[in-house]
């Protein structure tokens, strides 16, 4: 079992396997401050990250605002990778901010992004960041130009190697690309959440050679919540046909969407980690893709 089974894509000059790992769940806190319970043991988290890397995961998604009173995702990654895995690409994001108590605040002003970048550098123990995504603050942020321009200056200064975007539309990609190269776009996307198809963003990224990196690909509309019982009969049927889990089918569908589409499922459970990585080898038939691609009926 290896993450390499799904093939590779380049984030700028960094080639990564298309199955990666999202570190948010390591802290017990989600993007909106939701929690799945207390954070896992620190040594367990480090072992989990090393287990992922040993199975070919060389793309880890994180952020300095992934923390709880007891855990920081960045510092766990720093500890796990301290043994010299220089080929692991760590992608972080800036924009939203939390105070030390964990309370969320409005989007940081452009001039404060350097402080966020430096905090990521400190926590990760690095002298530069592989990829930094500017996470847009929804409809309250119609333009990304000023913020992305500030990050482009930090890229020129050598603090950042590559830039990306998160939570954006096609118009923001065009706006950012006029300032500096964009290597990835990270948006919510999956079987139950296809706004990036409606806007043409997934296909646009493929045409431009930009990685499209879905988050919530398994959880879908449950967002930060842990995966619940599968309610889609189509997913269950395809899973039975392959002796796979519904989560594996959802990840495989995402990866089948295009060679430029990556996946960053997160978990704190070693067994689920193994299942997610095994999804790299799951091949769906055209008929199964057509079945899963049909519109999702409204339900409770």
DSSP 86-105: TTPEEEEEES-EE-TT--EE
The predicted pLDDT at position 70 comes to 82
The predicted pLDDT at position 300 comes to 28
| In the chain, where the domains are located | 3-293
Note the pTM of the prediction, 2 decimals.
Answer: 0.91
Q: Is 72 left (phi over 0), alpha (psi -120 to 50) or beta?
A: beta
Residue 295 to residues 152, 191, 232, 248, Cα–Cα distance (Å): 39, 9, 12, 20
Interacting residues of 97 by C-beta distance below 8 A, sequence separation 6+: 65, 104, 105, 106, 107, 108, 112, 116
Full pLDDT tens readout for the chain, 300 residues: 799 999 999 999 999 999 999 999 898 654 433 444 566 799 999 999 999 999 999 999 999 989 887 889 999 999 999 866 679 999 999 998 777 666 777 789 999 999 999 999 999 999 999 999 999 988 889 999 999 999 999 999 999 999 999 999 999 999 999 999 999 999 999 988 888 988 999 999 999 999 999 998 886 554 444 556 788 899 999 999 999 999 999 999 999 999 999 999 999 999 999 999 999 999 999 999 999 985 544 332
Which CATH entry fits the domain spanning 3-293: 3.20.20.70, 3.30.70.100, 3.20.20.100, 3.30.450.20?
3.20.20.100
Q: Please return the burial class of 185, using the count of CB atoms within 10 Å of its CB with bins 0-12, 13-18 and 19+.
A: buried
Eight-state DSSP code of residue 13: T
Q: How far apart are CA 225 and CA 30, in angstroms?
A: 8
Interacting residues of 48 by C-beta distance below 8 A, sequence separation 6+: 26, 40, 268, 270, 273
CB 263 within 8 A of CB 16: no
Active site amino acids = 66
Strands 211-215 vs 184-188: parallel, antiparallel or unpaired: parallel
The predicted pLDDT at position 82 comes to 80
Packing angle of the helix pair 246-256, 286-293 (nearest 10 deg): 100
Lookup: tokens for 26: 């390591």
């Amino acid at each position: 079992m290896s993450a390499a089974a799904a093939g590779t894509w380049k984030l700028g000059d960094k080639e990564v396997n298309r199955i990666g790992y999202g570190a948010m769940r390591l802290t017990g806190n989600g993007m909106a401050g939701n929690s799945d319970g207390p954070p896992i043991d620190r040594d367990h988290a480090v072992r989990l990250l090393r287990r992922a890397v040993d199975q070919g995961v060389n793309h880890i998604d994180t952020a300095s605002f992934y923390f709880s009173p007891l855990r920081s995702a960045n510092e766990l990654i720093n500890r796990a990778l301290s043994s010299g895995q220089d080929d692991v690409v760590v992608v972080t994001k800036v924009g939203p901010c939390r105070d030390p108590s964990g309370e969320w605040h409005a989007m940081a002003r452009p001039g404060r992004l350097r402080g966020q970048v430096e905090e990521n550098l400190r926590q990760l123990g690095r002298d530069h960041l592989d990829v930094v995504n500017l996470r847009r603050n929804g409809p309250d942020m119609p333009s990304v130009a000023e913020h992305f321009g500030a990050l482009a200056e930090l890229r020129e200064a050598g603090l950042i190697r590559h830039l990306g975007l998160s939570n954006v539309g096609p118009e923001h990609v065009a706006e950012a690309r006029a300032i500096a190269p964009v290597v990835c776009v990270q948006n919510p996307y999956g079987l139950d959440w296809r706004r990036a198809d409606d806007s043409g963003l997934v296909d646009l990224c493929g045409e431009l050679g930009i990685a499209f990196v879905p988050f919530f690909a398994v959880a879908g509309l449950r967002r930060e919540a842990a995966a619940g019982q599968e309610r889609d009969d189509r997913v269950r049927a395809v899973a039975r046909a392959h002796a796979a889990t519904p989560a594996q089918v959802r990840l495989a569908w995402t990866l089948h969407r295009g060679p430029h589409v990556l996946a960053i499922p997160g978990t704190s459970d070693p067994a689920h980690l193994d299942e997610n990585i095994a999804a790299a080898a799951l091949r769906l038939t055209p008929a199964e893709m057509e079945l899963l691609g049909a519109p999702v009926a409204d339900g409770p």
